[in-house]
Chain A
Amino acid sequence: MLASCLFAEKRAMISLSNNYILFNDKDYQNTYGYGSYFPELRFSYFLDDNLLIWSGLGLVSNDGNTPVLQLKSSSHQYFISLGGGYVISLYEYVDFISRLGLIWVYYDENVLNLSESGDSLGIRLDVSLQLAITDMLFIEISCGYLTASDKINNKEIDIGGFKTGIDFGIKL
């Protein structure tokens, strides 16, 4: 209710998330590590006081050395997310938000003169606590899980993983 009051006249949010994601795929971990930063630009639109729809554009980019040959390799994952959410106001300046959506991910990996790429669909679930700083600015602490999978060169790969992050956003 309070949120509704606070955002009675605010219908949209734009935030920049700075996430840290822990990868599911073991081979990926061997070359690029267990996790990395995952920045994301996210846009949300309130349908009413509690429901919203949202979309996000995120990027995971890593460089690494192959474990044996110690060759330099690089990998990129581009995430586009779309889904809906539900907002529960806990306190006057604190809201709990849960989001569920689909993700489309484009990925590639380059080593030596070898390059592989592909894309896949997956799902995503996020929960967060949003703290209002002013009428327009807020901070949101979130965690979530996103996953997709694909098969390339007869090899099953996992994309995504558990993530946590902090968003800085503005309400419009």
Chain B
Amino acid sequence: MKHKFCKQFFPIFLISLAFITNTCSIINSAEKKHIKGTLQKGRPANNIRQAGGPDCNGYTYIDSSEAGGPFYDFEDISLTGNEVVLSDDDVSPACPVGFNYFFYGKYYSNIYICSNGFITVDSSQDFSESWYNTPLPMPYEPFALIAGLWVDLNPEVGGNIHYQTLGTSPNRRFIVQFTNIEHYYNGNPVTFQIKIYESTGSIEVHYLSAPTDASYRTVGIEDLEGQCGLEYYYGTASLTTPLAVRFDPPAREINIREGSVSIPDGDTYNFGDQPVGSNTLKTFTIENLGISSNLALTGIPFITIDGPDSAEFNIDLQPTSPILPGDSKNFIVRYSPTSPDIKWATLHVENNDSDENPYEINLTSGGTPDIFLYQDYWEYLNNDDYYTPDTPVGSQTDIIFELCNVGDIDLSISNIIISGDGFSLISNPDSIIPPGNCSFFTIRWRPIDEYAVFGSISIISNDPYDNPFYLNLLGITAIFPKVKIINPKNNEIVKGTTNIEAIITEDWMLIIGKMEFFIDGKLVFSTKKQPYIYPWDTTSYSFGYHKIEAFAHDELDQIGSDSIWVKVDNPPEVTIVEPLENSIVFGMVDIKVTANDDEKIAKTDLFIDGFLKYSSNETSFTYSWDTSLVQNEMHIINAKAFDPAGQMGTDEVIVTLAKVNIFLNASRHTEKLWLNTIDYARIDFTIENKYNLPISKILILRKSLGSEYSPIKELLPSDLANNSYTYFDYNIAINTVYIYQIMALDASGKIVGLSNEKTLEKD
């Protein structure tokens, strides 16, 4: 993920950094290492120098506007070259160059192409952040790069990249071409190609089109460590095209190293503190980092030593001359001290490298270690005072000290002695700290009461001037209000709304500014007035333990705290989801109930009009209430949920049962004929359908005692006159008790209305 803020401001930061590092050394404050190099100062836009260099490796550059500069020759390989498909901030696999090419003192056969407009010989780097280009050289990745036009390019959105080797040996040239590659953010495609020449080691960049996108772009080269390089351009302007820039390696370039460590011209090499009478031999290597000319050693002899103590430094082995390009020769210096003093001499190497003749190295020996003590980037001198951070009683503070050796020889730490109650040594530094290196040690401050403690650190070392190195310690104890949570109690089970109350048990005569309550690390209450009580609604907290903390701030913002754990166990919450309160229902009524508890639901009972209808231990269930045989209109549905602790939650809704009201009346009669007498029942009923429920048919039901209802007459709604009907039931027996009831059904056969029962006693 790219951060646009960084993309916008990081170049500005780097410009500042470049100016800061104009002294050619960058200090990493964390490690306090001195990194030497030859940074080129960043230049303002549109102020391009047409020629420049050399850098510390002898590379120079020149552009096509200068006499002797490269001739602009854009050889389009977009149709003939090998295409490299890259995503944003991507790097290619190894691209074979086809010949061994020279780059900063070494030969390579492959190259790696980065989507952000540069190529490199080192693929092991992290290219994910290569979208921000820097001035060159810069001791941060990416290293070892040839920045044709290093800027945040994105091949994913347009353009393509090709490479191809042209020409015949030994005059081949390798070309990497970026064709219409767009900037990451706003297009403005660029087209340029980088050429590497086999015979000369020169690097050329030919620009067909290089418009700006208002962001910084970099043109230049850099070695494998980012310490040496050339910057042709670093700015925001467009490059005026057509344009060609050539970077030339040195024809010859002298370098001297001991082992793998180069010793720049004018630097000092220390043979160390050697005992008198000993002989110390060091092998030095003279390298020719040039590509085309021999390095000739012109002194007689080739290596000479002079200076006040030159008698004690001797050349045991002279190198041979000349040294071919890319080749090296060794010579040996013997140091034979005759006294314990610090010795000085100068080694001279006369040669034909025009900018480093003679190449001189100061030779020295002996010297002392020099102890420096830092804490949090502050330097402490011998016998200085150190005040610990305020630390409450019962807690501790670990303090890391950095012990550095800025002397000439190894600093040997033999002991570190800590004194003072509450102080202890947690970790030791390295016993040997080489010159220029640092090591860390840690002490712990753990106050035992509210009073300050004096202590000390004594560093026993071989530093002749600061031994022991003594640092006075003053252990500072934080004084803070003492607060106690008096309600609820630790491990108490709470529910509902519980008051959290804290009191100040010791204020140290300071005014309490405010009291804060935290629950599970989140501030829930802050007050400046006593009593410090917070009504805590626990229902929104989960079942289980929660941490309550009280923080009392005094007027100096010193903080005292107390904490407890309580267990929240609230009663279940039960909800009758359906039907809704005051709703009108009919037929089969689905009663949906949900019950939640911060622990679990043990049981949920469902009541209708006070009668238990259903029980479940599920958190959600549906009960189908058959209202067909239910008479009353108003009904109370009640759900009660219980948790394992027996706590109960309840919910209740009142519903209106939409029924077809049927009012039934019945009576016994006798009809007398001439000879016969007919006993019959007169059935009168009236239907009231105020909810307009669908009625399909109406049944007149009759039963005798001990039997079930059976229909004796089926009617259609249209058979009724003014919602009333009279029916004569003459199929009755005199000595039988009959019970009548009227039932209204919908089309599906569901009962939508049921009358009262009417009993006719026997005559």
A26 to chain B, nearest CB (A): 9
Q: Is the CB of A31 within 8 A of B673?
A: yes
Residue in A27, A71, A112 whose CB lies within 8 Å of B672: A27
- Which residues in A have their C-beta under 8 angstroms from that of B673? 27, 30-31, 66, 73, 109, 111
A111 to B730, alpha carbons, bound, how many Å? 12
Q: Is residue B565 within 8 Å, beta carbon to beta carbon, of the partner chain? A: no
B190 to chain A, nearest CB (A): 110
A167 to B701, alpha carbons, bound, how many Å? 57
- Which residues in A have their C-beta under 8 angstroms from that of B728? 68-69
Closest to A75 in B: B674
Q: Is the CB of A27 within 8 A of B680?
A: no
Would you list which residues of chain A between 98 and 135 have a CB under 8 Å from chain B? 107-109, 111-112, 114-118
Q: Is residue B20 within 8 Å, beta carbon to beta carbon, of the partner chain? A: no
Among all A-B residue pairs, the 9 with the closest Cβ atoms: A116-B675, A109-B675, A28-B674, A114-B676, A68-B671, A27-B674, A69-B728, A109-B674, A111-B676
Q: Which of B672, B674, B680 has the most chain A CB atoms closer than 10 A to its own CB?
A: B674
A67 to B680, alpha carbons, bound, how many Å? 13
Closest to A159 in B: B674
Q: Is residue B678 within 8 Å, beta carbon to beta carbon, of the partner chain? A: yes
Q: Is the CB of A157 within 8 A of B675?
A: yes
- Which residues in A have their C-beta under 8 angstroms from that of B672? 27, 155
Residue in A31, A71, A112, A115 whose CB lies within 8 Å of B674: A31
Q: List 15 A-B contacts (CB under 8 A).
A: A25-B674, A28-B674, A68-B671, A68-B680, A68-B728, A69-B678, A69-B730, A71-B730, A107-B675, A109-B674, A111-B676, A112-B678, A116-B676, A157-B674, A157-B675
Would you list which residues of chain B between 671 and 711 have a CB under 8 Å from chain A? 671-678, 680
Q: Is residue A5 within 8 Å, beta carbon to beta carbon, of the partner chain? A: no
- Which residues in B have their C-beta under 8 angstroms from that of A75? 674-675
Q: Is the CB of B674 within 8 A of A32?
A: yes
Residue numbers of A with Cβ under 8 A of B are 25, 27-28, 30-32, 66-69, 71, 73, 75, 107-109, 111-112, 114-118, 152-153, 155, 157
Besides A32-B674, A68-B728, 5 more A-B contacts (Cβ < 8 Å) are: A25-B674, A28-B674, A66-B678, A107-B675, A112-B678
Closest to B680 in A: A69
- Which residues in B have their C-beta under 8 angstroms from that of A73? 673, 676
Closest to A158 in B: B674
A108 and B675 in contact, given A68-B669, A69-B680 (Cβ under 8 angstroms): yes
- Which residues in A have their C-beta under 8 angstroms from that of B675? 75, 107-109, 116-118, 152-153, 155, 157
- Which residues in B have their C-beta under 8 angstroms from that of A30? 673
Majority secondary structure of chain B interface residues (helix, strand, loop or mixed): strand
B132 to chain A, nearest CB (A): 108
- Which residues in B have their C-beta under 8 angstroms from that of A107? 675
A114 to B730, alpha carbons, bound, how many Å? 12
B510 to chain A, nearest CB (A): 106
- Which residues in B have their C-beta under 8 angstroms from that of A117? 675
- Which residues in A have their C-beta under 8 angstroms from that of B676? 73, 109, 111, 114-116
- Which residues in A have their C-beta under 8 angstroms from that of B671? 66-69
A67 to chain B, nearest CB (A): 7
Closest to B673 in A: A31
Closest to A28 in B: B674
Closest to A113 in B: B731
A30 to B677, alpha carbons, bound, how many Å? 13
A108 to chain B, nearest CB (A): 7
Closest to A110 in B: B676
Closest to B678 in A: A69
Closest to A26 in B: B674
Closest to B672 in A: A27
- Which residues in B have their C-beta under 8 angstroms from that of A115? 676
A130 to B680, alpha carbons, bound, how many Å? 51
Closest to A70 in B: B728
Closest to A115 in B: B676
A111 to chain B, nearest CB (A): 5
- Which residues in B have their C-beta under 8 angstroms from that of A68? 669, 671, 680, 728
A150 to chain B, nearest CB (A): 9
Would you list which residues of chain B between 57 and 113 have a CB under 8 Å from chain A? none
A60 to chain B, nearest CB (A): 12
A152 to B728, alpha carbons, bound, how many Å? 26
- Which residues in A have their C-beta under 8 angstroms from that of B669? 68
- Which residues in B have their C-beta under 8 angstroms from that of A153? 675, 677
A116 to B676, alpha carbons, bound, how many Å? 7
- Which residues in A have their C-beta under 8 angstroms from that of B680? 68-69
- Which residues in B have their C-beta under 8 angstroms from that of A69? 671, 678, 680, 728, 730
Q: Is the CB of A112 within 8 A of B730?
A: yes
A30 to B671, alpha carbons, bound, how many Å? 11
- Which residues in B have their C-beta under 8 angstroms from that of A155? 672, 675
A101 to B676, alpha carbons, bound, how many Å? 30
Would you list which residues of chain B between 649 and 678 have a CB under 8 Å from chain A? 669, 671-678
B731 to chain A, nearest CB (A): 9
Q: Is the CB of A71 within 8 A of B678?
A: yes
- Which residues in B have their C-beta under 8 angstroms from that of A116? 675-676
- Which residues in B have their C-beta under 8 angstroms from that of A118? 675
- Which residues in B have their C-beta under 8 angstroms from that of A67? 671
Closest to A23 in B: B674
Q: Which of B671, B677, B680, B728 has the most chain A CB atoms closer than 10 A to its own CB?
A: B671
A133 to chain B, nearest CB (A): 39
- Which residues in A have their C-beta under 8 angstroms from that of B677? 153
A155 to B677, alpha carbons, bound, how many Å? 10
- Which residues in A have their C-beta under 8 angstroms from that of B674? 25, 27-28, 31-32, 75, 109, 157
Closest to A152 in B: B675
B591 to chain A, nearest CB (A): 47
B541 to chain A, nearest CB (A): 76
A67 to B730, alpha carbons, bound, how many Å? 14
A131 to B136, alpha carbons, bound, how many Å? 162
A159 to chain B, nearest CB (A): 10
Q: Which of A66, A109, A153, A157 has the most chain B CB atoms closer than 10 A to its own CB?
A: A66
Closest to B729 in A: A69
A47 to B677, alpha carbons, bound, how many Å? 48
Closest to A107 in B: B675
Would you list which residues of chain B between 172 and 189 have a CB under 8 Å from chain A? none
A29 to chain B, nearest CB (A): 9
- Which residues in B have their C-beta under 8 angstroms from that of A27? 672-674
A120 to chain B, nearest CB (A): 12
A28 to B672, alpha carbons, bound, how many Å? 10
A67 to B678, alpha carbons, bound, how many Å? 11
A112 to B730, alpha carbons, bound, how many Å? 10
B346 to chain A, nearest CB (A): 149
Would you list which residues of chain B between 532 and 586 have a CB under 8 Å from chain A? none
B676 to chain A, nearest CB (A): 5
Closest to B677 in A: A153
Closest to B670 in A: A68
A79 to B638, alpha carbons, bound, how many Å? 79
Interface string of B410-440 (1 = CB under 8 A from A): 0000000000000000000000000000000
Closest to B730 in A: A69
Would you list which residues of chain B between 613 and 627 have a CB under 8 Å from chain A? none
Q: Which of B669, B675, B677, B678 has the most chain A CB atoms closer than 10 A to its own CB?
A: B675
A140 to chain B, nearest CB (A): 31
A69 to B728, alpha carbons, bound, how many Å? 7
A68 to B675, alpha carbons, bound, how many Å? 16
- Which residues in B have their C-beta under 8 angstroms from that of A114? 676, 678
- Which residues in B have their C-beta under 8 angstroms from that of A28? 674
Would you list which residues of chain B between 229 and 272 have a CB under 8 Å from chain A? none
- Which residues in B have their C-beta under 8 angstroms from that of A112? 678, 730
A66 to chain B, nearest CB (A): 6
A32 to B676, alpha carbons, bound, how many Å? 13
- Which residues in B have their C-beta under 8 angstroms from that of A111? 673, 676, 678
B528 to chain A, nearest CB (A): 93
- Which residues in A have their C-beta under 8 angstroms from that of B730? 69, 71, 112
B430 to chain A, nearest CB (A): 124
A114 to B671, alpha carbons, bound, how many Å? 13
- Which residues in A have their C-beta under 8 angstroms from that of B678? 66, 69, 71, 111-112, 114
